[in-house]
Structure 1
Amino acid sequence: MKTRLITPTPSAHAYPLLIKNLLDTPLIYSPDQEIVYRDQHRYTYKTFSQRVKQLAAMLENLGVRPGDTVAVMDWDSHRYLECFFAVPMMGAVLHTINIRLTPEQLIYTINHAEDDVILVNTEFVPLLASVKDRFNTVKKVVVLSDTGEIPESDLDFAGEYEALMAETPAEYEFAEFDENTMATTFYTTGTTGMPKGVFFSHRQIVLHTYATLSVLCGYAHQANITSNDVYMPMTPMFHVHAWGMPYLMTLLGAKQVYPGRYEPEMLLKLILTENVTYSHCVPTIMNMLVTSPAINQVDLTGWKVIIGGSALSRGLCAQALKHGINLYTGYGMSETCPVLSLAMIKPHLMETDQDEQVAIRCMTGLPIPHVQMKIVDMKGNALPHDGKTAGEVVVRAPWLTQGYIKSEEKSEELWADGWLHTGDIGVIDAHGYLRITDRLKDVIKTGGEWISSLELEDIISRHEAVSEVAVVGVADDKWGERPLAMVVIKDAFRGKVSEKDIQDHCMGFVEKGQIPKYGVPTRIILDADIPKTSVGKISKKDIRSQYQ
């Protein structure tokens, strides 16, 4: 298509979308607002800005140059937030390492990303030391310590973070460069093979920040946020930039609270003492909190929490709402930076009864601005948005990873036909709400029909005795596959609930016509130890392997 392009004045400035510009606004609007780390440290945005400069200068003194890669292994902390800004702002690439990887996966990602410098928390020093003899590109290692002490180790440390920062003046001039410069990278673990590396540019992260800003702050729904909110992540910062929310909350100049290691008592203490009003986490973390005895000592009314990573069951949602938690779903994946949709209740639906609101909160939600989303059949044909016809969810947005690092074949599979393929099966209704019904690899194929493992999990979660549930398909000679359910029973119901009780509960939904009779699990494992992935998601791969 022939269009009329703008011819800029030679002296005009072509303003690049860079992460450094996200820090300008809070320094004007709220320079004295606080950033808090556990119950140990607090400082202002003004100090934060100075420390970002110090960190960049310190890394430059260690030999880091534009294009180099700086990796971080830390709990959620003020140090991590400083790295979110300083590393990409100096033109380097931030590699957020998954601290729960196996040693083999860890050294693979370090070498594959070509890390030059690694910043490592004292707790992860033994893990990193176990692979040090296999470093290909690592030149320096800096230890991150809450106490300032350097642990004994075979690693040759360049120094301790705070000590090195103290020796470095807060003098660094962040240059302008192409907005398409790589800013971050990290690795997503799959069902087979080694982790796959994704990457995001400054432009993508800035656009993602403004899109989430517009939807969370601008559109009327049940959980709007403003600069008056107090933010605490409960999704690891190594996991898709903590869903990009540290960038958003920094742009807003909001108070930020970083909890370090996730411990129920510390999380609840910080929520209470720092007046936290906005968080995000995976269902297992929320389940851990609402089942903790300590929750009964804390007023959580008005705490807004986005659930992602795994499906939010109606049972968990209802339990959280009873504690006053404003809980709802967000959807995305490592490849999408990550936010694609949020389960916002439209204003005209706000007056519906709680059961209907819970159903909406547990949906995958409405696409956020600049996200194009459709469902397609196996041939790539678009399917109707009738709330019934299921297909694979494919998307386009300005912030999606453009491929996998050093993996052309997997990249082409991801981007088949010019749409990013999520691998999720879902339906879209007439109101635009997406509901994921299963992963392509998790749908249960029984007797020639497909059964949604997510739908079965949702039904079982509504039993009053159920704390947590996972459903998978296991091989069956007659039916091909049959559903197997692993169920964690609440303490108050231990010994009082049988497998038949759970099956009878499911039969109630058969009688209502919501699921077929063959969808009722024939095997139910009570008081199960449900395996989890490194980021707290239910690991269905491990369940299938264990019970196949």
Structure 2
Amino acid sequence: MLGKMMDFQLTIPAVMRHARKIHGEAEIVSKLADGSLHRYRYVDAFDRVAKLAGALKKLGVEQGDVIGTLAWNSYRHFELYYGVPGIGAICHTINPRLSDEQFDFVLNDARDQWIFVDPDFLPLMARLQDKFKTVKGYIVLCDEADMPEHNLQNVYCYESLLAEQSVQFDWPELEENLACGICYTSGTTGNPKGVVYSHRSTVLISLTANTSSSVGMQPEDSLLAVVPMFHVNAWNIPYAGAMAGAKMVFPGRFMGDGQALAELMNEERVRFASGVPTVWLALLQHLRENNTKLETVERLMVGGAATPVAMMKAFEEEQGIFMQQGWGMTETSPLGTMNMPTPSMEKLDKEAQFELRKTVGRPTFGIEVRIVDDALNELPWDGKTPGSFQVRGPWVCSQYLGIEQSDAHTEDDWFDTGDIAVIDKQGYVSITDRSKDVIKSGGEWISSADLENAVMAHDSVLEAAAIGVYHPKWSERPLLIVVTKPGVEVSEEELKTFLATQVTRWWIPETILFTTELPHTATGKVSKKDLREQYRDFSYQE
């Protein structure tokens, strides 16, 4: 017997209908390029989304067409998140930090038809426009009065297009398994790969994000989306936030500006914010240098890279803010695990709590995880046995755009994340390395993540990265590259002495190098690939 329930499709327009009717008075606030704030309500936003849908149809956009966005976090980008998939087209959010070669690849691979672009990025588009084989034209995200000079072909002004349309739009009935969005991986090895999200997967992950064991947004929340809207749907905050009826705050081009973020958080009484560790590092520096307090912030959600325990302690002790770490990737839409505080965690002493909090947490409902050896034998969840970390679930990529088979997908239908992990009996996941970054010295593993986390607990260290380099006896040994805090000096020997109190002695690298800046990927992670290239001639001698 089958269930006797309505066949209600889980689609982005359903999220829009709910948010408009139930949470219509909630606010969306955006910091504009000139530093001013734009403020309107959900009901106003979705009226404009209807106008956008009409404009898209006037441009000839059909169901299944791919529409690119090259934009900062703003109310106009929010409108594109709903208007494009709402008519059955596919929203391709493009990372502006890609190299020229990667831009060329991803726009042609996705077959983008139109590009919605912030004025900041017009020179980039103009320089590369001859390489785009399918792009019909560009829509600049601004008013007519702010249209900059350009030499692009077939260009429209966003506000002028919307002004011609009605707030009444006959939304089509969509099937929930239709594609709604495309996001490309950061391309750390080879070309970026396209991950295609469906309406169903997007709605399901947004529902899960709002559960109490995950992000758990509430109608009274004011949330700041610092994580870029060009990076995995801003971790689905534009959808999950609308479901919950939360006030959404977008920082525009100021997402890396500690002062601007602090001011925005206090002005808009932000309770919750999301971003990568490098963003929170810049914010912490600003708060310390200016003796500033964040008056209303309760939680910072962190993903994209390991969060140093020292940073967690600093925010909690100096600001009273809980840093909530999670794990995910483009291929998991991105929510995979989340480290929410629990009653059992709160019973532990402070140091034991931080030991648990430095893990990426436990799988959310909808995500199943396992660790395996090279023969795909499942390994125990004993908190000490490392293995290849694999996942599966309804919002996990089943194949990449244009790639029928991928080495990341196993024969028994699991996705291999490329991470090495340890899982304890309670299901807490510790990511110890990327499989391609693991340091294997004398046949034993050294966790680069743990080594980096340990050295960053030193008061003088701002950022650090560990890579494996050749050693004639041990095959490989760690090389630690450190960035110190501005105006602070520390010796190599002092850091080695400090590390001896933090990690197993044989993990301590023979050499620690100092630099002014580490290379980062387009998504803000430290680029181990670039570091290995930079130090390719470095090797230890007997």
RMSD across aligned positions (CA): 1.7
Quickly say closer, same or farther: Cα 1:449–1:147, change in 2 above 3 A: farther
1:245 aligns with 2:245: no
Comparing 420-429 and 27-36, the one that deviates more: 27-36
Aligned partner of 1:532: which letter?
H
8 Å CA contact 1:461, 1:469 repeated in 2: yes
Residue by residue over 1:447-503, the C-alpha shift from the partner in whole angstroms, topping out at 9 and shown as x without a partner, is 2221110110111111121121111112223322211111121235x23x1011001
Is 1:339 the counterpart of 2:335? The answer is yes
C-alpha distance in structure 2 between counterparts of 1:28 and 1:339, whole Å:
27
1:236 is aligned to 228
Taking the aligned partners of 2:240 and 2:217, their CA distance within structure 1 comes to: 11
**Higher mean displacement: 333-342 or 416-425:** 416-425
Instruction: Point out the more displaced range, 358-367 or 248-257.
Output: 358-367
Unaligned segments of structure 1, at least 5 residues:
218-222
1:187-226 CA-to-partner distances (Å, cap 9, x unmatched) read 1123321111110100110111111112457xxxxx7541
Note if contact 2:276-2:303 (Cα within 8 Å) is conserved in structure 1: yes
2:345 is aligned, of 335, 346, 349, to 349
In the TM superposition, residue 504 of structure 1 has moved relative to its aligned partner by: 0.7
Letter in 2 for 1:298: K
Aligned position for 2:320: 324
> Which residue in the other structure is 2:25 paired with?
32
Contact 1:265–1:294 (CA<8 Å) still a contact in 2?
Answer: no
Mapped to 1, the partners of 2:295 and 2:421 lie a distance apart of: 32
CA spacing shift, 1:365–1:97, aligned 2, 3 Å: same
- Aligned with residue 463 of structure 2, among 468, 475, 492: 468
Determine if the alignment matches structure 1 residue 455 to structure 2 residue 450. yes
- What are the equivalent positions in structure 2 for 1:35-434 lying under 5 Å apart? 35-38=28-31, 39-145=36-142, 148-216=145-213, 224-261=216-253, 262=255, 263-292=257-286, 293=288, 296-300=291-295, 302-322=297-317, 323-410=319-406, 412-434=407-429
Aligned to 2:539: none
1:140-196: CA deviation from partner (whole Å, max 9, x where unpaired): 211113784222222024311112212222221111121100000021123321111
Given that 2:129 and 2:152 are in contact with CA atoms closer than 8 Å, whether structure 1 keeps it comes out as yes
CA contact (8 A) 1:25 1:253 kept: no
Contact 2:269 2:296 survives alignment (8 Å): no
* Amino acid corresponding to residue 447 of structure 2 in structure 1: S
Counterparts of 1:393 and 1:469 in 2: how far apart (Å)?
24
1:398-438 C-alpha deviation (Å, 9 max, x unpaired): 1112211111232x533442101111111111111111111
Specify the SS of the correspondent of 1:418: coil
User: Is contact 2:217–2:244 with CA below 8 Å preserved after alignment?
Assistant: no
- Is 1:437 aligned to residue 425 of structure 2? no
State the alpha-carbon separation in 2 of the partners of residues 169 and 181 from structure 1.
Answer: 26
When residues 282 and 264 of structure 1 are mapped into structure 2, their CA distance, relative to the original with a 3 A threshold, is same
Report if aligned partners of 1:425, 1:439 keep a CA contact under 8 Å in 2. Answer: yes
Contact kept? 1:72, 1:120, Cα under 8 Å: yes
295 and 278 in structure 1: CA distance in 2 versus 1, 3 angstrom threshold: farther
In 2: Cα distance, 1:353 partner to 1:302 partner: 24
Does residue 19 (structure 1) correspond to residue 4 (structure 2)? The answer is no
The 1:295–1:359 alpha-carbon spacing in structure 2 relative to 1, beyond 3 Å, is: farther
Could you tell me how far apart the structure 1 residues matched to 2:296 and 2:484 are?
26
Aligned to 2:531: 543
Shift of residue 527, structure 1, vs aligned partner: 4.1
Q: Deviations over 1:215-259 (max 9, x none)?
A: 457xxxxx7541101011111111110111211001111111111
Contact in 2 for aligned 1:345/1:360 (Cα 8 Å): no
8 A contact 2:359–2:431 mirrored in 1: yes
Helix, strand or coil at the partner of 2:240: helix
How far has the Cα of 1:138 moved from its partner?
A: 0.7
Range with bigger deviation, 310-319 or 349-358: 349-358
Q: Contact 1:148/1:162 (CA < 8 Å) preserved in 2?
A: no
For the residues of structure 2 that align with 1:98 and 1:385, how far apart are their CA atoms?
37
Distance 1:416 1:167 in 2: 52
Q: What CA distance in whole angstroms lies between the structure 2 residues aligned with 1:210 and 1:312?
A: 25
Q: Distance in 2 between matches of 1:146 and 1:158?
A: 13
Count how many residue pairs are aligned between Structure 1 and Structure 2. Answer: 528
SS in structure 2 of the partner of residue 408 of structure 1: coil
TM-score, normalised by the number of residues in structure 1: 0.93
SS at match of 1:360: helix
Q: Distance in 2 between matches of 1:283 and 1:431?
A: 26
Give the corresponding residue for 1:521.
509
Aligned to 2:140, what secondary structure does the other structure show? strand
Secondary structure of 2:412's counterpart equals helix
**Structure 2 CA distance for aligned equivalents of residues 99 and 278 of structure 1:** 26
What SS is found at the alignment partner of 2:50?
helix
Distance 2:63 2:136 in 1: 15
Deviations 1:314-334 (A, max 9, x none): 112112212222102111100
Where in structure 1 do 4 or more consecutive aligned residues deviate above 6 Å?
Answer: none
Residues 85 and 117 of structure 1: is their aligned pair in 2 closer, same or farther, counting only changes over 3 Å? same
8 A contact 1:33–1:253 mirrored in 2: yes
C-alpha distance in 2, partners of 1:191/1:30? 40
In the aligned structure 2, how far is the partner of 1:539 from the partner of 1:257?
A: 29
Q: What is residue 220 of structure 1 aligned with on the other side?
A: none
Change over 3 Å in CA distance of 1:302–1:76 after alignment to 2:
closer
In 1, the alpha carbon distance for the partners of 2:302 and 2:527 equals 17
Indicate if the aligned counterparts of 1:301 and 1:325 stay in contact, CA closer than 8 A: no
Match of 1:533 among 501, 521, 524: 521
- In the TM superposition, residue 42 of structure 1 has moved relative to its aligned partner by 0.6
Structure 2 residues not aligned, in runs of 5+: 537-542
- What is the Cα deviation at residue 305 of structure 1? 1.0
C-alpha contact (below 8 Å) 1:88/1:184 kept by paired residues: yes
